[in-house]
């Protein structure tokens, strides 16, 4: 059991579950219904396995850095609960399984190639760039926006159309403040390392004010989904309310003088995206 838990932690399963949901979200939009069926589930599972494989490889790539930070020094490779060979084998197997399922669902090498591109962005560009530049977050955000696009393509959606561009915008705009909140929550940890850090460029209060622009753009993108699909009043209300509450919460967060609990806002931001995906997909069923 301890070994299984270590392997799950190595693969960052909790984070990757949201990636699974975002892939199924893209698939449901392409099908223009609330999803369902084996292909819908497998579309998410393929990307989930690919993501856990990439996360396992990332844990291997960063195990020395993880040993220097309080929030990561309990990870399996740092503690010696798994060997580097075990981590590499796990990463290769998960990546191979993920790419195979993506191909099986989409019946397309090009869609599988999109999954491979996401892997290269994450492990080949974002991970090494993170130790050199604060702007590594942008290729990282682009990588995180690819899973719903894979779902969209797997569901038969056109490669170049407005909805996938909306998906890219939604998830890129969500991930930037997501990353900033991680930095703010663990600011002391980041400042104690040699990692490039936005807090070395901007003061904490100024960084907080950046949220207004990003969350504002995110909310506008969330509301634009209403222009693409027909909804009854209740689902429109849920989508609009969720979006406005998110914006107002971060306005108070950004402008208020109170020392906020960054962890709570981190959870709130993620939950808002989950609620949005659920409301958009569930509303399409009507």
Q: Is the pLDDT of residue 47 over 80?
A: yes
Contact 277, 152 (CB under 8 A): no
Instruction: Give CA separation, 68 vs 227, 255, 266, in Å.
Output: 47, 33, 23
Q: What is the pLDDT of residues 142-175, one digit of tens each?
A: 999 999 999 999 999 988 889 999 999 999 999 9
The domain locations on the chain are 1-159, 160-286
Question: What is the rounded average pLDDT of the residues 260-277?
Answer: 91
1-159 fold: Tetracycline Repressor; domain 2 (1.10.357)
Q: Is the pLDDT of residue 194 over 80?
A: no
Q: What is the pLDDT of residues 4-26, one digit of tens each?
A: 888 999 999 988 999 999 999 99
Contact 190, 199 (CB under 8 A): yes
Q: What is the pTM of this model?
A: 0.91
Q: What is the structure's pLDDT at 32? A: 76
Q: Token digits for 121?
A: 């962005």
**Residue with token string 């819908």:** 40
Query: Using CA atoms, how far apart are residues 212 and 131, in angstroms rounded to an integer?
Result: 27
Q: Is the pLDDT of residue 274 over 60?
A: yes
Q: Is the pLDDT of residue 233 over 90?
A: no
Query: Using CA atoms, how far apart are residues 226 and 236, in angstroms rounded to an integer?
Result: 7
Q: Token digits for 167?
A: 């998906």
Contact 283, 232 (CB under 8 A): yes
Identify the residue with better confidence: 99 or 184.
99
In sequence order, what are the residues at sequence separation of 6 or more whose Cβ sits closer than 8 angstroms to the Cβ of residue 11?
Answer: 52, 53, 55, 56, 59, 90, 94
Lowest mean pLDDT among 76-80, 101-105, 215-219: 76-80
Label residue 257 by pLDDT band (50, 70, 90). low
Q: Cα torsion for 246, 247, 248, 254, to the nearest 10°? A: 110
Q: What is the structure's pLDDT at 206? A: 79
Query: Using CA atoms, how far apart are residues 261 and 162, in angstroms rounded to an integer?
Result: 37
């Amino acid at each position: 059991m301890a070994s299984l838990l270590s392997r799950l932690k190595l693969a960052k399963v909790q984070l990757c579950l949201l990636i699974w949901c975002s892939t199924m979200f893209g698939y449901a939009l392409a099908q223009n219904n609330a999803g369902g069926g084996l292909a819908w589930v497998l579309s998410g599972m393929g990307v989930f396995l690919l993501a856990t494989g990439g996360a396992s490889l990332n844990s291997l790539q960063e195990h020395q850095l993880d040993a220097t930070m309080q929030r990561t020094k309990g990870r399996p490779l740092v503690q010696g609960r798994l060997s580097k060979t075990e981590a590499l084998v796990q990463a290769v197997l998960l990546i191979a399984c993920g790419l195979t399922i993506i191909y099986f669902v989409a019946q397309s090498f090009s869609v599988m190639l999109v999954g491979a591109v996401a892997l290269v962005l994450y492990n080949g560009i974002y991970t090494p760039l993170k130790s050199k530049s604060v702007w590594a977050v942008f290729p990282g955000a682009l990588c995180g926006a690819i899973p719903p696009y894979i779902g969209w393509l797997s569901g038969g959606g056109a490669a170049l159309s407005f909805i996938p561009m909306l998906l890219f915008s939604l998830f890129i705009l969500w991930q930037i403040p997501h990353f900033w909140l991680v930095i703010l929550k663990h600011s002391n940890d980041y400042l104690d390392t040699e990692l490039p850090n936005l807090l070395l460029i901007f003061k904490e209060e100024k960084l907080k004010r950046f949220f207004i622009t990003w969350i504002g753009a995110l909310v506008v993108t969330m509301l634009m989904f209403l222009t693409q699909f027909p909804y009854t009043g209740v689902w429109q209300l849920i989508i609009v309310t969720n979006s406005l509450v998110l914006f107002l919460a971060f306005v108070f967060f950004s402008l208020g003088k109170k020392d906020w609990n960054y962890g709570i806002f981190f959870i709130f931001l993620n939950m808002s995206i989950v609620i949005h995906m659920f409301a958009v997909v569930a509303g399409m069923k009507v």
